[in-house]
Structure 1
């Protein structure tokens, strides 16, 4: 009897469409071919065969990376957006600030005392007592 291993996390399993490639990979490789092949055939007579092939590879490389690169289950565009957000859009130092509700109560009591009895507030805050 044949046994097939089933992965524990089924979210990582991707549907293969043709040639053991996903739909995303086929689309990206198709875009790379549409960009690279005409460049090669139109420029190989002008700049030479090897230079045209090098240019074709350089033009096709971004689409190939978008098709094949994946890190932590995220495709290249999500990885790039995370890098841009962390480096440029969000601040480097994020401060942790809280409001001290007890300090707010003390301040509000002082304000209330000053409003009720302004002379008493002056007497209390006037001079410091020195212990002997």
Structure 2
């Protein structure tokens, strides 16, 4: 009886379209053939066969890498994008910063306390100036 192994991690299973290749691999290999083969025939006229073959391999290699290379389930363009972002686009030194919820609540409570103190001072000034105005009027009445 035939024995078939079943992988435990089904996320690594890719659907095969043709000749045991995935759709991504077929597209990349097709693009490599469309560019590399005519290049070989064009260069074969001016250079030797080995030089034309070498140039064809160099031109087709990025397509093969895009088709086959995968690291931790991520294709080459994703990995390359992450490397470029890490090495060139982001700052080299990133300080550790947290946004603590309780610290935010504490800052909010402190701000509310300051606002309350300002409002109370304004009310006290308003009451003090209103009281001095009435006292001033009463003083003027007494003097007259």
Same fold (TM over 0.5): yes
Going from structure 1 to structure 2, the CA distance change for 1:109 and 1:70 (only over 3 Å counts) comes to: same
1:11 matched to which residue of 2? 11
2:64 matched to which residue of 1? 64
1:96 matched to which residue of 2? 97
State the alpha-carbon separation in 2 of the partners of residues 9 and 3 from structure 1: 18
Query: Could you give the per-residue CA deviations for residues 49-85 of structure 1, whole angstroms, max 9, x where no partner exists?
Result: 2221111111001111011111111111121222233
Could you tell me how far 1:100 is from its partner in structure 2? 3.5
Number of equivalenced pairs: 119
State the alpha-carbon separation in 1 of the partners of residues 8 and 68 from structure 2: 23
Over the aligned positions, Cα root-mean-square deviation in angstroms equals 2.4
State the alpha-carbon separation in 2 of the partners of residues 115 and 61 from structure 1: 72
Could you tell me how far 1:4 is from its partner in structure 2? 1.5
State the alpha-carbon separation in 1 of the partners of residues 24 and 114 from structure 2: 66
2:50 matched to which residue of 1? 50
Could you tell me how far 1:14 is from its partner in structure 2? 1.4
Structure 2: state its 5+ residue gaps. 125-144
Q: How do 1:1-132 residues align onto structure 2 when only pairs under 5 Å count?
A: 1-92=1-92, 93=94, 95-98=96-99, 99-117=103-121
TM-score normalised per structure 1: 0.74
Which structure has greater helix proportion?
Answer: 2
Query: Could you give the per-residue CA deviations for residues 15-71 of structure 1, whole angstroms, max 9, x where no partner exists?
Result: 223332222112111111111111111111212222211111110011110111111
Q: Which moved more, 1:49-58 or 1:95-104?
A: 95-104
Q: Which moved more, 1:6-15 or 1:98-107?
A: 98-107
- Select the structure of larger CA radius of gyration: 2
